[in-house]
Amino acid sequence: MRLGLKLFLGYFLIVGLGVYFSLNILGVEIKPAFRQATEETLIDTANLLAVLARDEVVNGNLADGRFQARLAEYAQRTPNAQVWDIVKNTLDHRVYITDAQGIVLFDSTGQAVGQDYSRWNDVYLTLRGEYGARTTRENPGDERTSVMYVAAPIRDGERIIGVLSVAKPGSSIQPYVDRAEAKLRRAAALLVAMSLMVGLGFSWSLARSIQRLAAYARAATAGQRAMVPQDGGPELRALAEAVATMRDRLEGRDYVERYVHTLTHEMKSPLAAIAGAAELLQDELPPMQRKRFASLVTNETERLQQLIERLLALATVEQQHALQERRLVLLGPLVEELLGSRAPTIARKHVRIDRRIPEDATVLGEPFLIAQAIGNLLDNALDFTPDQGIVTLEANRSGDAWRRLTVTNTGSAIPDYAHERLFERFYSLPRPDTNRKSTGLGLAFVREAAHLHGGTITVDNRLAADGTVIGVAACLTLPSIV
């Protein structure tokens, strides 16, 4: 399914559900609202008629009095009223009056005179001095036949001498309920139609922008020139610009050319030394000179091999977008293993190793990358530590979820001009004891490994209390818990 269609269906589903639940809620509220309004009107009517009928109830001439005549006249009226678009031609109220025992004294329909209504809620509650009302269905299985009854007390002073109830059938208000529900449905249908149009427009616009971006990416892949899409909003424009940047880098306009030139320059020096030594070794030389030139060939070959291995390792980690495995790594045993492999260098330079790593110190990540990164930091520290110097390895917590490993060495400071280039590929400072440079790939590898783990790496001069430089500290921060 296309993305535009998915977005449209999702949007339409949300709108549709919103309209559906709104209709349900309003539909549930419409009928009670009409009934409440009708009940409020019946309360006024019942109390008014109770006051008008009081004298005839007290005098006992209700059956042939003016009250009955006026209600008969009321029943004969034809209002011919148009309420909005509904015509009303009949009057629907029914009125009955009971005595203090609940016996019907008067019924405008003539049906219930003499019957005992004391058990009906409207009469029963009113005789007790409470608000009396009820709703009764004439046909128990049909809600539309319900009739609402509201009663009011007939008082002689403070004494209740009877009850007057006014009834109104639900069928008389049903047309207004139906009209309101019909208008609500029409409004909902209009809302859905408008939402459908808006959703279609939005989905079409987004799909069109994505298609243009995809077409640009395909053109870039094929090596064709194409204009960077500028429509689709800031997010898609940012994505298009990112694709353009990626294209430039893949084409190698700057990155690859500089990478190859630097690599060629780094390999030129050892190759020249090997070629020169090999040419001299073809002649008759004293044993000491032959040994010195053979050692030169060995050292430069080892240098080339190291350059190639580190370059391959850096290329691998740069192309890696996620960790291949993630598990807890104990720093203590790992550091011991790394120090053991560098024991000859440590012994030759009489370097003192100061380990401050707790037994339970762990980091979370890919063991190979962590070992390579710490090994590169340790190599740098040993290279720049003078004879009889000190290299300190310390592991501390950096917050609840991070572990900071600091590798510190005594020695000369990092020059100001080199600070910004420390992590640049092939950039290296000369070693103090040999004045030779390394491959310049170690710190670049450490930075890539730290980024893959979500961590950081910093390298800076270490200062004494008086502000003088006493060495260099490299701080590698890695996650320590799952």
Q: What is the DSSP string of 72-108?
A: HHHHT----EEETTEEE-----EEEEEETTSBEEEET
Q: ∠ at Cα 378 (377, 379), nearest 5°?
A: 90
Q: What percent of the chain has pLDDT over 70?
A: 77
The pLDDT value recorded for residue 82 is 72
pLDDT tens readout for residues 303-341: 677 666 666 665 566 556 577 788 899 999 999 988 888
Label residue 84 exposed, middle or buried (CB < 10 Å: 0-12, 13-18, 19+): exposed
pLDDT tens readout for residues 41-80: 999 999 999 999 999 998 888 877 788 888 888 888 887 7
pLDDT higher than 50, residue 255: no
Confidence of residue 99 (pLDDT cuts 50, 70, 90): very high
Side-chain half-sphere exposure of 243, counting CA atoms within 13 A: 22
The pLDDT value recorded for residue 84 is 67
Q: Which CATH architecture has domain 252-319?
A: Orthogonal Bundle (1.10)
Q: ∠ at Cα 481 (475, 482), nearest 5°?
A: 130
The pLDDT value recorded for residue 221 is 65
- Lowest average pLDDT, out of 235-239, 279-283, 410-414, goes to 235-239
Cα separation, 298 vs 409, in Å, equals 29
Whether 382 contacts 345, CB under 8 Å: yes
Confidence of residue 252 (pLDDT cuts 50, 70, 90): very low
Cα separation, 420 vs 409, in Å, equals 20
Tokens of 482: 């799952």
Which superfamily does 3-178 belong to?
Answer: PAS domain (3.30.450.20)
Whether 476 contacts 450, CB under 8 Å: yes
Outline where DSSP puts E strands in 277-420: 327-330, 352-356, 362-365, 390-397, 402-410
Cα separation, 106 vs 57, in Å, equals 10
Cα separation, 151 vs 121, in Å, equals 9
Identify the residue with better confidence: 444 or 43: 43
pLDDT higher than 90, residue 12: no
The pLDDT value recorded for residue 224 is 57
Confidence of residue 233 (pLDDT cuts 50, 70, 90): low
Cα separation, 369 vs 366, in Å, equals 6
pLDDT higher than 60, residue 258: no
Identify the residue with better confidence: 82 or 41: 41
- Lowest average pLDDT, out of 1-10, 198-207, 355-364, 464-473, goes to 1-10
Kindly list the domain boundaries of the chain, sorted by start residue. Answer: 3-178, 252-319, 321-479
CATH tag, 321-479:
3.30.565.10
